[in-house]
Amino acid sequence: MPTWTNMPPDAPRGYGLPIRRVPPGKPFVCCILSSDLIGTRTHYWHGRTRPCETPDCGACSEGMPWRWHAYMAAFEGMGHEPFLLELTAKATAPLVDYRNAYGTLRGCKLRAMRANFAKNSRLIIETSPADLTKLTLPAEPDLHKVLALLWDLPQSALVPTGQGGRATSTETLSDVTAKVRADDLNELNAEILLRRAACTLQTGNGKE
């Protein structure tokens, strides 16, 4: 039975958020709504990005490569709907720095620009605190629920394990190390990223 109402709901899509990546060609500016990011290995498989579900992963069993992606809710300003921002591991490093400096990503103004017109070209990311005297942030979407809905997963599937674990602590240091090795090691920031990841995992989990 449908539930009829004579007023539109505050969240017309339920937990669903449209997913967006930084487009090529012009600077992309948004404000982060999530207090922290959440990341996992993903595969581009059967025409879409899916989380790696190792040790029982269809894409892995077909030998598909994986990439680590970070997700966070963001919006472009008042009057705009929130969306789910997807970033690669390298692009995420400045946000990890911001989170470690300010204790949260919520209210971080992100300015992203691609190095050239290719849609997967390197991202140049700048962060700064948004002027919250001029901007009212919408409520923080529940990233676990948003991603569970996006990927048709049980809602418990993305909840990090461990007391006080940050969302990022679902990744182990060896996962991040493997990711960095898989990337182009000629890029200087690979080593920097690894050090930052080690620091994040230590502070995030408290046990590693």
171 touches Zn ion by CB under 5 A: no
Q: From the CB of 197, what's the least distance to Zn ion, in Å?
A: 20
Q: From the CB of 61, what's the least distance to Zn ion, in Å?
A: 8
CB distance 91 to 113 below 8 Å: no
Residue 15 or 45 having the CB closest to Zn ion = 45
Among 19, 60, 153, 178, the residue binding Zn ion under the rule CB under 5 A is 60
Cα 44 to Cα 138: distance, rounded to the nearest angstrom: 31
Q: Cis bond leading into 55, ω under 30°?
A: yes
Residue with tokens 């969240």: 11
Q: From the CB of 10, what's the least distance to Zn ion, in Å?
A: 36
Q: From the CB of 65, what's the least distance to Zn ion, in Å?
A: 9
153 touches Zn ion by CB under 5 A: no
Q: From the CB of 67, what's the least distance to Zn ion, in Å?
A: 11
Residue 61 or 203 having the CB closest to Zn ion = 61
Residue 86 or 97 having the CB closest to Zn ion = 86
57 touches Zn ion by CB under 5 A: yes
Rg (CA), the chain: 18
Residue with tokens 């200087």: 188
DSSP 60-104: HHTT---EEEEEEEEESSTTS--EEEEEEHHHHHHHHHHHHHHS-
Contacts of 177 (CB under 8 A, 6+ apart): 194
Nearest to 36 by CA among 208, 207, 204: 204
182 touches Zn ion by CB under 5 A: no
Q: Rule CB under 5 A: which of 26-55 touch Zn ion?
A: 52, 54
158 touches Zn ion by CB under 5 A: no
Nearest to 192 by CA among 180, 204, 207: 180
Residue 57 or 178 having the CB closest to Zn ion = 57
Residue 11 or 60 having the CB closest to Zn ion = 60
Among 59, 72, 73, 125, the residue binding Zn ion under the rule CB under 5 A is 59
Q: From the CB of 121, what's the least distance to Zn ion, in Å?
A: 26
Burial 117-151 (b: 16+ CB within 10 A, else e): eeeeeebebebeebeeeeeeeeeebebbbbbbbbb
Chain contacts with Zn ion (rule: CB under 5 A): 52, 54, 57, 59-60
